[in-house]
């Protein structure tokens, strides 16, 4: 099948004689000038054309183009101007005359293709074959991206370079698809990224996006959205439309803009599409939005000064820097229709709205006077104050000229050979020019550097424009900054010291966010199923903070720190210990001092009545020692209060251990005395000898020094030390004394317990002994209290750490001391003070 098809095609082509007849002669250019080397041009002189329905009974005619575009006419004339200027110069391409052939594409892809095919086929080539003479060395084309893609795809395979002055589609940077494409306008890739940068710079994280539904808009918008997403900007909606869309479609888009919550709209829209959109926006009276525009409309005077300018006031966007071309204005205005060029005639008729008489057509209507002049006319053709695109055309022509100059490398010697042919011979192939164009680099007269990078793109620098209302009420383009890709990333977007005026003549930067920023102390949590820019603010957890707005995470505080109430700083954790300022501390101190004064009081009473039988009978020496040790016991509770230090930690356990042992050994001594005393009263025993005052003292000293030894060992081997306990509570630190060696601690306590138990057992045995004033009963009772207090202390100590443990410990010390004090001394004091009649030897012996 494939073979048959190819063979049929082959024979058909062969049958045509000569082959070019198949297509007919190429179209003739709109503007032409012959030269040694020709540069082609395709401009969209007209915006539309008359649809012709072919009848196929005769050769289809060339479509008729309508509505002349003055802007494009200026661009084309700039190309002519540049070529003439080069021909006038002697330092570049000396002896070589440049020619041009400029075609009209009427803004259609079909016509652009036709023009590009005509450019590469010589008109007179029909005679013999379709062999292409090497006259067109480069093509300057086109204004729109889509026709440029078609042209580049058509002439690219012939190695003819295509240089565009206005096709910005990033897709054209693809060297695989467009190996022979160059341009003097930056790729939209950079513009889209610049727009995303701008949006990010002003903190708009929630924007709407509109684009033209063509290669220009769609490619630009894709890059913008990609870059914006990368920068953390969210796009609320993204819609594409085209000027030929039905009205309902445009209305739908305007409704979306109206109902959206974003206040900033990025419009990657060509100027002709923007006009259509603007009409609908005006009809629905949508004002107050901040528009960010692409270069196509942001530098368009027609839109900026039109009757709906109030809608777009304050718009911002990037534009190609303006330039000046010396001599261009004179060149443009000296044009006259008398040269016979049809296009010039049409321009004349359009500008002056008159008809130029000609032989063929009958005259009717307004006839041109013949004294009109373009010199004082103000329109897009004659205006040279906004030369941006025209300058790109100018640079493109110069790039070709410099390339040719370099390829030919014409020396004086070549020129002196008679003609320029020697030089011309050096360019037999268009690929030579194509190759040299990649390396061309020169400065224009205004100092602009022109070169192409490996993708055929020029140096990228944009001006940042802001539409501000001038004194006369019209919109002015104010340059407020620039964007230069050649600089490091953080310097690319720079602002001049000029205040920006925003939408509605505001001087405050508009806000366009989905969610308000999260204050410090909270973190962002993305709402489920919505873009990342829409989030809730969640307070940080305990012990975590965020000290910046818009934190994504909360930070954990260091170990000794804790979050404050607002969760925005870490504060030192509360140190908890029983202090003298605490109510509990004050109460305990009061009790301890009370205990001391009671003890001293009792000691005084005993001292005053030291000669009475009851004091004497109860072993006054041990009693005073007991009172002394009880005083120490009350006082040692004070060492537990206050911030733990190295010394207080060592002191309070040992002081407690030693005083208590002293105390209990006194009690033990008393108990033994009672036991012995009873035994002594039995006939035949002389035990009292064995436990006299000396032995009593010795036993107290022995018991106590044993505890002292335990304490000394404990303190030397592994003493208690102050310790910050952070494990128990997250928000506070417990300052406590670590016992150092648990064995030491329990040995001290165990020894006290052992003595207490021994004392209790002995007292218990002695309680029933017949004696009028048997102390053993009271000692039993006091030891019972003592043991009960300390046994209840243990679970409390183990279970509730913190300052309450210390309080419980002090309470236990005080309670047991009071217990001892009252049980042993209260009955005696009662008798001494209130019942002195019982305080007689007789009464003592009574029973
Ligand atoms: C080139 O030179 C010719 C003759 O000197 C002059 O008329 C023409 O204006 C010049 N063109 C340019 C573009 O300089
Ligand atoms: C094309 O041919 C015609 C006559 O056949 C001739 O007058 C004209 O100069 C030729 N044009 C070119 C560019 O060779
Ligand atoms: C448009 O809206 C503005 C306020 O938003 C109002 O002042 C103005 O009158 C409206 N214009 C029309 C034509 O409705
Ligand atoms: C041209 O000439 C006509 C009279 O023939 C005169 O009315 C008109 O003002 C002139 N226009 C200019 C621009 O000189
Ligand atoms: C140009 O020609 C000169 C001799 O005329 C030669 O020395 C020089 O290398 C050539 N330059 C290039 C770029 O070909
Ligand atoms: C054009 O080429 C010639 C010869 O190579 C050179 O002398 C001249 O400087 C070139 N002109 C420009 C403008 O570079
Ligand atoms: C161009 O062609 C001429 C003869 O037609 C030949 O002498 C010359 O070497 C060629 N130049 C190149 C660069 O191919
Ligand atoms: C910007 O301009 C203001 C006044 O217009 C001036 O006070 C300020 O110093 C300028 N800043 C810089 C960086 O030039
Ligand atoms: C936030 O806290 C971090 C770490 O504590 C600190 O480095 C940073 O400077 C703080 N930032 C502010 C704005 O306080």
Q: Whole-angstrom Cα distance, residue 311 to residue 306?
A: 10
Question: Which is more confident, 256 or 696?
Answer: 256
Compute, in angstroms, the gap from residue 371 CA to the centroid of ligand 4: 6
Compute, in angstroms, the gap from residue 127 CA to the centroid of ligand 6: 38
E strand segments, 617-773: 721-725, 732-738
Q: Which domains does the chain have, with CATH numbers?
A: 26-52+61-184+391-451 (3.40.50.2300), 188-319+460-487 (3.40.50.2300), 522-572 (no CATH), 583-845 (1.20.1070.10)
Locate the ligand 5 atom nearest the alpha carbon of residue 411 and give its number: 5
CB 714 within 8 A of CB 748: yes
Q: Whole-angstrom Cα distance, residue 328 to residue 63?
A: 32
List the single range of 12-21, 222-231, 502-511 with lowest mean pLDDT: 12-21
The pLDDT of residue 145 is above 70: yes
Output DSSP code: residue 177.
T
What is the average pLDDT value for the chain, to the nearest integer? 85
Pocket test for ligand 5, best of 406, 409, 412 (most atoms within 8 A of CB): 409
CB 520 within 8 A of CB 565: no
pLDDT of residue 416: 66
Confidence of residue 845 (pLDDT cuts 50, 70, 90): low
For residue 665, what is the enclosing H or E element?
Answer: helix 646-681
The pLDDT of residue 129 is above 60: no
List the single range of 275-279, 652-656, 670-674, 704-708 with lowest mean pLDDT: 670-674
pLDDT of residue 307: 83
List the single range of 59-63, 121-125, 190-194 with lowest mean pLDDT: 121-125
What does the pLDDT average to over 711-719? 91
Q: Centre a 10 Å sphere on the Cβ of residue 162 and count the other Cβ atoms it contains.
A: 30
Query: In this structure, what are the phi and psi dihedrals at residue 459, rounded to the nearest 5 degrees?
Result: -60, 140
The pLDDT of residue 398 is above 90: yes
pLDDT tens digit string along 149-190?
999 998 888 889 999 999 988 889 999 999 999 999 999 899
Q: In sequence order, what DSSP letters do the residues of 813-840 get, joined into one string?
A: HHHHHHHHHHHHHHHHHIIIII-GGG-S
* Percentage above 90 pLDDT, the chain: 33
Pocket test for ligand 4, best of 351, 354, 371 (most atoms within 8 A of CB): 371
pLDDT tens digit string along 421-480?
677 777 777 788 889 999 999 999 888 899 999 999 998 999 999 999 888 888 889 999
The two beta strands, 732-738 and 574-576, are: parallel
CB 31 within 8 A of CB 100: yes
Locate the ligand 3 atom nearest the alpha carbon of residue 288 and give its number: 5
Q: Rounded to whole angstroms, what are the CA distances from 793 to 184, 582, 658?
A: 92, 21, 19
Question: Does the bond joining 139 to the residue before it have cis omega, within 30 degrees of 0?
Answer: no
Question: Which is more confident, 691 or 69?
Answer: 69
Supply 13's token pair: 């082509």
The pLDDT of residue 611 is above 90: no
- Please tell me the number of Cα atoms within 13 Å of 489 on its side-chain side: 4
Q: Centre a 10 Å sphere on the Cβ of residue 330 and count the other Cβ atoms it contains.
A: 11
Give the three-state DSSP class for 100.
Answer: strand
- Ligand closest in space to the Cα of 499: 8
pLDDT tens digit string along 288-308?
899 999 988 998 888 888 888
Pocket of ligand 7 (CB under 6 A): 425-426, 428
The pLDDT of residue 593 is above 80: yes
pLDDT of residue 84: 95
pLDDT of residue 211: 95
- Ligand closest in space to the Cα of 436: 5
Locate the ligand 7 atom nearest the alpha carbon of residue 425 and give its number: 1
Q: Whole-angstrom Cα distance, residue 278 to residue 271?
A: 10
Q: Rounded to whole angstroms, what are the CA distances from 518 to 137, 203, 515, 523, 549?
A: 61, 14, 8, 6, 5
Confidence of residue 414 (pLDDT cuts 50, 70, 90): low
The two beta strands, 65-68 and 162-164, are: unpaired
CB 328 within 8 A of CB 390: yes
Q: Please name the residue that has the structure tokens 């072919």.
A: 54
Question: Which is more confident, 802 or 572?
Answer: 572
The pLDDT of residue 128 is above 80: no
376 within ligand 4 shell (Cβ under 6 A): no
pLDDT tens digit string along 183-229?
999 998 999 999 999 999 999 999 999 999 988 899 999 999 999 99
Q: Whole-angstrom Cα distance, residue 558 to residue 551?
A: 18
The two beta strands, 555-556 and 721-725, are: unpaired
Pocket of ligand 9 (CB under 6 A): 547-548
Question: Which is more confident, 708 or 772?
Answer: 708
pLDDT of residue 759: 87
Confidence of residue 681 (pLDDT cuts 50, 70, 90): low
What does the pLDDT average to over 577-593? 90
pLDDT of residue 15: 41
Q: Tell the burial category of 176 from Cβ atoms under 10 Å away from its Cβ (0-12, 13-18, 19+).
A: exposed
Give the three-state DSSP class for 173.
Answer: helix
pLDDT tens digit string along 74-113?
999 999 999 999 999 988 888 788 999 999 998 888 889 9
pLDDT of residue 282: 92
435 within ligand 3 shell (Cβ under 6 A): no
Question: Which is more confident, 286 or 773?
Answer: 286
pLDDT of residue 18: 46
Compute, in angstroms, the gap from residue 117 CA to the centroid of ligand 2: 19
Compute, in angstroms, the gap from residue 39 CA to the centroid of ligand 7: 21
Question: Which is more confident, 779 or 42?
Answer: 42
Q: Rounded to whole angstroms, what are the CA distances from 554 to 21, 168, 349, 515, 538?
A: 79, 45, 72, 19, 10
Locate the ligand 4 atom nearest the alpha carbon of residue 370 and give its number: 1
- Ligand closest in space to the Cα of 494: 8
Compute, in angstroms, the gap from residue 289 CA to the centroid of ligand 3: 14
Pocket of ligand 5 (CB under 6 A): 409, 411
List the single range of 115-124, 150-159, 331-340 with lowest mean pLDDT: 115-124
Confidence of residue 600 (pLDDT cuts 50, 70, 90): very high
Q: Centre a 10 Å sphere on the Cβ of residue 182 and count the other Cβ atoms it contains.
A: 26
Q: In sequence order, what DSSP letters do the residues of 235-281 get, joined into one string?
A: EEEEEEE-TTS-HHHHHHHHHHHHH-S-SEEEEE--HHHHHHHHHHH
Q: Whole-angstrom Cα distance, residue 72 to residue 842?
A: 143
Q: Please name the residue that has the structure tokens 């950079």.
A: 190
């Amino acid at each position: 099948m494939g073979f048959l098809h190819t063979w049929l095609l082959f024979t058909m082509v062969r049958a045509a004689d000569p082959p070019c007849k198949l297509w007919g002669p190429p179209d003739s250019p709109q503007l032409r000038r012959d030269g040694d080397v020709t540069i082609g041009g395709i401009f969209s002189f007209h915006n539309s054309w008359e649809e012709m329905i072919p009848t196929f009974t005769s050769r289809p005619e060339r479509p008729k183009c309508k509505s002349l575009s003055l802007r494009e006419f200026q661009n084309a004339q700039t190309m002519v101007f540049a070529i003439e200027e080069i021909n006038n110069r002697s330092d570049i391409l000396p002896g070589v005359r440049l020619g041009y052939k400029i075609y009209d594409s009427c803004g259609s892809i079909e016509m652009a293709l036709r023009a590009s095919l005509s450019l590469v086929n010589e008109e007179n080539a029909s005679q013999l074959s379709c062999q292409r003479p090497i006259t067109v060395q480069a093509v300057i084309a086109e204004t729109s991206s889509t026709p440029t893609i078609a042209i580049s795809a058509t002439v690219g395979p012939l190695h003819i370079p295509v240089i565009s002055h206005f096709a910005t589609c990033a897709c054209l940077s693809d060297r695989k698809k467009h190996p022979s494409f160059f341009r003097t306008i930056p790729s939209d890739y950079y513009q889209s990224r610049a727009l995303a940068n701008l949006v990010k710079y002003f903190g708009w994280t929630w924007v709407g996006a509109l684009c033209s539904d063509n290669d220009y808009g769609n490619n630009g918008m894709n890059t913008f959205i990609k870059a914006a997403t990368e920068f953390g900007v969210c796009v609320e909606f993204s819609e594409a439309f085209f000027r030929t869309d039905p009205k309902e479609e445009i209305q739908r888009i305007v409704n979306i803009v109206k109902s959206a919550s974003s206040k900033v709209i990025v419009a990657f829209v060509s100027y002709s599409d923007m006009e259509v959109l603007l009409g609908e926006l005006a009809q629905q009276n949508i004002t107050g939005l901040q528009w960010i525009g692409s270069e196509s409309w942001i530098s368009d005077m027609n839109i900026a000064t039109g009757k709906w300018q109030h809608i777009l006031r304050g718009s911002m966007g990037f534009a190609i820097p303006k330039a000046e071309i010396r001599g261009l204005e004179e060149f443009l205005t000296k044009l006259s229709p008398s040269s016979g060029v049809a296009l010039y005639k049409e321009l004349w008729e359009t500008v002056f709205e008159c008809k130029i008489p000609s032989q063929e057509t009958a005259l009717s209507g307004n006839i041109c006077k013949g004294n009109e002049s373009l010199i004082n006319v103000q329109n897009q053709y004659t205006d040279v104050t906004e030369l941006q695109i025209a300058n790109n055309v100018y640079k493109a022509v110069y790039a070709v000229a410099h390339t040719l100059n370099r390829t030919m490398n014409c020396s004086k010697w070549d020129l002196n050979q008679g003609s320029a042919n020697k030089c011309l011979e050096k360019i037999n192939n268009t690929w030579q020019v194509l190759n040299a164009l990649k390396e061309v680099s020169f400065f224009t007269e205004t100092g602009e550097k022109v070169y192409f990078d490996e993708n055929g793109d020029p140096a990228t620098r944009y001006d940042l424009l802001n539409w501000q209302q001038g004194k006369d009420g019209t919109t002015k383009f104010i340059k407020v900054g620039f964007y230069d890709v050649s600089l490091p990333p953080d310097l690319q977007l720079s602002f001049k010291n000029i205040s920006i005026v925003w939408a509605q003549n505001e001087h405050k930067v508009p806000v366009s966010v989905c969610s308000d920023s999260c204050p410090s102390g909270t973190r962002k949590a993305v709402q489920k199923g919505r873009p990342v820019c829409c989030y809730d603010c969640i307070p940080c957890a305990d012990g975590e903070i965020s000290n910046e707005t818009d934190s994504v995470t909360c930070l954990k505080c260091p170990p000794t720190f804790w979050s404050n109430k607002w969760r925005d700083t870490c504060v030192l954790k509360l140190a908890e210990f029983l202090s003298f300022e605490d109510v509990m501390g004050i109460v305990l101190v009061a009790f301890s001092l009370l205990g001391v004064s009671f003890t001293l009081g009792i000691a005084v009473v005993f001292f005053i009545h030291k000669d009475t039988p009851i004091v004497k009978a109860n072993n006054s020496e041990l009693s005073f020692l007991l009172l002394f040790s009880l005083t120490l016991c009350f006082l040692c509770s004070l060492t537990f209060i206050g911030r733990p230090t190295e010394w207080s930690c060592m002191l309070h356990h040992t002081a407690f251990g030693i005083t208590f042992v002293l105390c209990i050994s006194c009690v033990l001594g008393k108990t033994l005395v009672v036991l012995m005393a009873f035994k002594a009263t039995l006939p035949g025993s002389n035990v009292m000898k064995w436990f006299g005052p000396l032995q009593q003292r010795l036993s107290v000293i022995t018991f106590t020094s044993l505890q002292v030894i335990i304490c000394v060992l404990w303190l030397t081997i592994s003493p208690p030390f102050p310790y910050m306990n952070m494990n128990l509570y997250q928000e506070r630190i417990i300052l406590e004394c670590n016992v150092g060696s648990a064995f030491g601690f329990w040995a001290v306590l165990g020894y006290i317990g052992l003595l207490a138990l021994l004392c209790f057992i002995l007292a218990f045995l002695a309680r029933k002994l017949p004696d009028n004033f048997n102390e053993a009963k009271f000692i039993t009772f006091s030891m019972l209290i003592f043991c009960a207090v300390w046994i209840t202390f243990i679970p409390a100590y183990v279970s509730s750490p913190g300052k309450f443990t210390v309080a419980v410990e002090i309470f236990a010390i005080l309670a047991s001391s009071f217990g001892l004090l009252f049980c042993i001394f209260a009955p005696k004091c009662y008798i001494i003070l209130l019942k002195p009649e019982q305080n007689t030897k007789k009464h003592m012996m009574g029973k």
